[in-house]
């Protein structure tokens, strides 16, 4: 029995196995390994390949949509292993963004729970289910920076704070890659995609180098440091150089600066799109530019397959560039064990519906992500005296809308609505009347009469308004963040009846409330809470759960205020100069806003020292007391402001957060250990970090103190 070829010998170092395999491959075989083939109805924005286009020599397949399951994966893998000359296994990717069969809240909602451990747990649970369905690699976490909620993909972000997104990026990578059943993670969309002009998806982005280093790059660097095995280059033209052909970001920063050794996959057709963007005159030129910049795996358009062999033979693309791209792809395949275990065995999760444990985790996350924006006169929880409740609005009985835009294998018909969950939880003898009143969008008012009649007969009203899942996510750009259709008109008509009215919002973004807010007593931002949305919302409405979410994104009053975010740099003149003449310049609800059914008091911030220098640490503490009669969870967000620096610094920079449950009457000390080099230094326009002497202000809720950094 001859010894196995070195690349097949798992006892050898990965680097050795890669070189051995590289030396055995023909140019065509190498190039096919750099092709990723999309199968199934990936998503409505991307047309997938046909089955007759699948080749045994392809490096990767995307398992999105209904056609993608374990049997499909193993059949394709059998083709790759048996029918290709060297039997190289393919790697199977999938958009497992916030759940696979059991769907967690959208990432924007998850961020409002301010709990990295919850994010990690949810990713680990999702990885188990996804792997059981054939997935080796998820195209997540999405860590784009966005301060424009017109952009539909704001729903997929972890909010507007680069610091928070960095912590959630780390937690996601660890959850996906270090859980019981690891799958490879993918940081996307590298980089600056969230700045799409006008919130219009696929549009160019103009991002200053300073903002790139302040806001857009940190979550990717955090994810790389956490060990992410891949990065996805984005669609956007970044300051005139598209990110899928941008050597500065893909090689100079990602490889040379951060020493990233994983693989870079382009986004769907992003190499082809270089033609649309005017960055290449021919398909061959687009191909050459992408691989020269540092894109290793070409998703979907097939340009690498079609053009690289002849580009290499013509000396336009050096063979070394193909070999280097292939080394990175093979390294990930070896590291995740694909050569030893190319097939995934079916297990109890493979054909299962969402498990009880996964649904419980989704429900816990959904409850934690809801944000109580307003609660005048303790309108919520619904009073025990309210025997007749009217639930009004198109989201009352909606199901699929609760799951968000990347519901993967989550099913609307398995997702109880708000109405269903409220009905089973209302005490005996209570009456619930449900009226949609109008559709999510469209101009029909014929449901108004029944809705108003239900409201008139009720002791209290719950409005359930919001968006369809197609109104956010990829290609979900909207010119206004007003509620669609006649929902605002319905809300005002119901509110005019004067009943105690609470508004529940199911949306993928903040929405305009400046007309409705003064007319309703309570508002809950539920976002798109996932498979257990109905239960979470009902439990909060009835007081079974105490809401604890805090906004991870600024909530504008009007679309016209966008962009509006907490980490803006100071203005040249103080209000009211330069403010809008027609609406306040402040947000409707600030970043970090969120109420509870109890009340938390903050003591003064205490500092261990009045000054600190590099190499030292300074401890900030604040005592928070639960002054209410029920337990509640409080999140302390620690901000700084550097009022005078060599580069103007934001009015507020989030630098630490901690969330904890406090019993009624409990006082708890929240502590932040300030390390100047980590927490007080800031990047310049080339990413060099500066720690400067001078005053620093520290904020926690309404409390603030100042200390000095010494040279
Ligand atoms: C899509 C998205 C990206 C996704 C990929 C594969 O167009 O931009 O987020 O991972 O294609 O579906």
What separation in Å is there between the alpha carbon of 267 and the centre of ligand 1?
6
Segment 9-28 mean pLDDT: 98
Residues 277 and 156 in one domain: yes
Q: At what angle do helices 533-541 and 418-425 cross, to 10 degrees?
A: 50
What is residue 44's predicted lDDT score, i.e. its pLDDT? 61
Please give the Cα distance from 14 to 32 (Å, whole number).
21
Place of tokens 């209302």: 426
pLDDT tier, 41 (very low <50, low <70, confident <90, very high otherwise): low
Residues 277 and 236 in one domain: yes
Rg of the chain over all Cα atoms, to the nearest angstrom: 26
Q: For the segment 508-519, what is each residue's pLDDT rounded down to a tens digit?
A: 999 999 999 999
Ligand 1 atom closest to the CA of 156, numbered from 1: 9
Q: For the segment 391-432, what is each residue's pLDDT rounded down to a tens digit?
A: 999 999 999 999 999 999 999 999 999 999 999 999 888 999
Segment 166-176 mean pLDDT: 98
Instruction: Determine whether the shortest distance from the Cβ of 244 to ligand 1 is under 6 A.
Output: no
Q: For the segment 238-268, what is each residue's pLDDT rounded down to a tens digit?
A: 999 999 999 999 999 999 999 999 999 999 9
Asked if pLDDT for residue 52 goes beyond 90, the answer is: no
Residues 147 and 185 in one domain: yes
Helix (H) or strand (E) holding 47: none
Residues 334 and 388 in one domain: no
Burial 656-668 (b: 16+ CB within 10 A, else e): bbbbeebeeeeeb
Torsion of CA 116, 120, 125, 127, to 10 degrees: 140
The alpha carbon of 311 is separated from its chain's Cα centroid by a whole number of angstroms, namely: 38
The alpha carbon of 49 is separated from its chain's Cα centroid by a whole number of angstroms, namely: 27
According to DSSP, the β-strands at 600-602 and 388-392 are unpaired
Please give the Cα distance from 240 to 441 (Å, whole number).
37
What is residue 276's predicted lDDT score, i.e. its pLDDT? 98
Task: Please check whether residue 586 lies inside any domain of the structure.
Answer: no
Instruction: Determine whether the shortest distance from the Cβ of 237 to ligand 1 is under 6 A.
Output: no
Task: Please check whether residue 507 lies inside any domain of the structure.
Answer: yes
What is residue 43's predicted lDDT score, i.e. its pLDDT? 57
Considering the chain, what is the average pLDDT of its residues? Answer: 96
What is residue 64's predicted lDDT score, i.e. its pLDDT? 81
Residues 237 and 371 in one domain: no
Q: For the segment 630-678, what is each residue's pLDDT rounded down to a tens digit?
A: 999 999 999 999 999 999 999 999 999 999 999 999 999 999 999 999 9
Asked if pLDDT for residue 207 goes beyond 70, the answer is: yes
Asked if pLDDT for residue 67 goes beyond 90, the answer is: no
Helix (H) or strand (E) holding 697: strand 694-700
Residues 242 and 296 in one domain: yes
Q: Please state whether the predicted TM-score (pTM) of the whole model is above 0.75.
A: yes
Q: Can you read off the two tokens belonging to residue 548?
A: 């604890």
CATH code of the domain in which 694 resides: 2.60.40.10
Ligand 1 atom closest to the CA of 234, numbered from 1: 8
Provide, rounded to the nearest whole percent, the portion of the chain with pLDDT above 90: 94
Task: Out of 267, 405, 477, give the residue to mutate to test ligand 1, the one with the largest number of ligand atoms within 8 Å of its CB.
Answer: 267
Task: Please check whether residue 576 lies inside any domain of the structure.
Answer: no
Number of domains in the chain: 3
Segment 117-127 mean pLDDT: 98
Q: Can you read off the two tokens belonging to residue 588?
A: 């409707």
pLDDT tier, 4 (very low <50, low <70, confident <90, very high otherwise): confident
Asked if residue 270 lies in contact with residue 235, where contact means CB atoms within 8 angstroms, the answer is yes
Segment 518-527 mean pLDDT: 98
Residues 334 and 374 in one domain: no
Boundary of a domain, candidates 531, 561, 591: 561
Asked if pLDDT for residue 42 goes beyond 60, the answer is: no
Instruction: Determine whether the shortest distance from the Cβ of 301 to ligand 1 is under 6 A.
Output: no
CATH code of the domain in which 327 resides: 3.20.20.300
* Range(s) of the domain holding residue 281: 6-343
Asked if pLDDT for residue 12 goes beyond 80, the answer is: yes
Instruction: Determine whether the shortest distance from the Cβ of 95 to ligand 1 is under 6 A.
Output: yes
Segment 50-68 mean pLDDT: 85
Task: Please check whether residue 587 lies inside any domain of the structure.
Answer: no
Residues 679 and 643 in one domain: yes
Provide, rounded to the nearest whole percent, the portion of the chain with pLDDT above 70: 99
Asked if pLDDT for residue 65 goes beyond 90, the answer is: no
Instruction: Determine whether the shortest distance from the Cβ of 267 to ligand 1 is under 6 A.
Output: yes
Task: Please check whether residue 349 lies inside any domain of the structure.
Answer: no
> Which of 680, 677, 706, 709 shows the shortest CA–CA distance to 605?
706
Q: For the segment 278-320, what is each residue's pLDDT rounded down to a tens digit?
A: 999 999 999 999 999 999 999 999 999 999 999 999 999 999 9
């Amino acid at each position: 029995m001859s010894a196995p070829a070195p690349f097949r010998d798992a006892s050898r170092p990965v680097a050795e196995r890669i070189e051995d395999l590289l030396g055995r491959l023909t140019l065509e075989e190498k190039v096919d390994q750099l092709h990723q083939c999309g199968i199934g109805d990936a998503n409505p924005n991307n047309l997938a390949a046909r089955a007759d286009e699948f080749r045994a020599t392809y490096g990767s397949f995307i398992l999105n949509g209904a056609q993608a399951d374990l049997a499909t994966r193993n059949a394709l893998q059998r083709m790759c292993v048996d029918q290709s000359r060297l039997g190289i296994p393919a790697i199977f990717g999938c958009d497992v963004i916030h759940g696979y069969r059991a769907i967690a809240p959208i990432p924007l909602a998850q961020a409002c729970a301010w709990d990295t451990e919850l994010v990690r747990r949810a990713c680990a649970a999702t990885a188990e289910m996804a792997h059981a369905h054939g997935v080796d690699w998820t195209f997540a976490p999405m860590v784009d920076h966005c301060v424009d909620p017109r952009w539909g993909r704001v729903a997929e972000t972890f909010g507007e704070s680069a610091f928070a997104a960095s912590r959630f990026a780390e937690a996601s990578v660890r959850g996906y890659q270090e859980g019981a059943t690891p799958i490879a993670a993918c940081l996307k969309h590298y980089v600056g995609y969230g700045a799409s002009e006008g919130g219009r998806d696929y549009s160019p982005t103009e991002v200053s180098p300073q903002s790139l280093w302040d806001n857009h790059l940190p979550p990717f660097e955090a994810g790389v440091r956490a060990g992410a095995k891949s990065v996805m280059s984005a669609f956007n033209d970044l300051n005139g150089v598209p990110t899928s052909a941008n050597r500065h970001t893909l090689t100079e920063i990602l490889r040379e600066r951060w020493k990233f050794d994983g693989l870079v996959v382009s986004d769907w057709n992003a190499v082809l799109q270089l033609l649309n963007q005017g960055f290449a005159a021919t398909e061959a030129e687009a191909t050459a530019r992408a691989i020269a910049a540092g894109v290793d795996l070409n998703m979907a358009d097939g340009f690498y397959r079609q053009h690289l062999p002849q580009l290499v033979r013509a000396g336009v693309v050096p063979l070394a560039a193909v070999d280097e791209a292939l080394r990175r792809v093979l390294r990930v395949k070896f590291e995740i064990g694909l050569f030893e275990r190319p097939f995934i065995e079916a297990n109890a999760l493979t054909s299962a519906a969402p498990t009880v444990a996964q649904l419980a985790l989704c429900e816990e996350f959904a409850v934690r992500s809801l944000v109580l924006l307003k609660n005048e006169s303790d309108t919520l929880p619904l009073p025990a005296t309210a025997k007749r409740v009217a639930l009004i609005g198109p989201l009352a009985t909606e199901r699929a809308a609760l799951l968000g835009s990347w519901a993967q294998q989550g099913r609307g018909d398995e997702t109880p609505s708000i109405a269903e969950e409220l009905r089973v939880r209302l005490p005996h003898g209570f009456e619930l009347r449900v009226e949609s009143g109008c559709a999510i969008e469209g101009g029909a008012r014929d449901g108004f009469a029944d809705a108003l009649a239900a409201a008139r007969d009720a002791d209290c009203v719950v409005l359930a308004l919001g968006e369809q899942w197609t109104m956010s996510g990829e290609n979900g750009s909207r010119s206004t963040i007003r509620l669609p259709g006649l929902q605002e008109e319905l809300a005002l008509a119901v509110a005019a009846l004067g009943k105690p009215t609470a508004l529940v919002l199911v949306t993928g973004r903040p929405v305009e409330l400046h007309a409705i807010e003064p007319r309703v007593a309570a508002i809950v931002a539920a976002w798109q809470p996932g498979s257990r949305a109905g239960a979470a919302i009902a439990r909060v409405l009835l007081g079974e759960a105490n809401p604890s979410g805090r906004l991870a994104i600024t909530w504008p009053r009007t679309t016209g205020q966008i962009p509006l975010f907490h980490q803006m740099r100071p203005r040249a003149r103080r209000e009211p100069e330069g403010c809008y003449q027609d609406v306040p310049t402040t947000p409707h609800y600030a970043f970090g806003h969120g109420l509870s059914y109890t009340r938390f008091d903050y003591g003064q911030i205490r500092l261990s020292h009045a000054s600190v220098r590099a190499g030292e640490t300074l401890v900030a503490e604040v005592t928070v007391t639960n002054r209410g009669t029920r337990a509640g969870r409080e999140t302390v967000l620690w901000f700084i402001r550097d009022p005078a620096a060599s580069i103007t610094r934001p009015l507020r920079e989030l630098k630490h957060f901690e969330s904890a449950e406090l019993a009624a009457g409990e006082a708890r000390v929240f502590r932040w250990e300030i390390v100047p080099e980590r927490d007080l230094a800031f990047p310049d326009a080339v990413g060099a970090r500066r720690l400067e002497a001078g005053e620093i202000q520290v904020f926690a809720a309404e409390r603030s103190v100042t200390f000095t950094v010494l040279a």
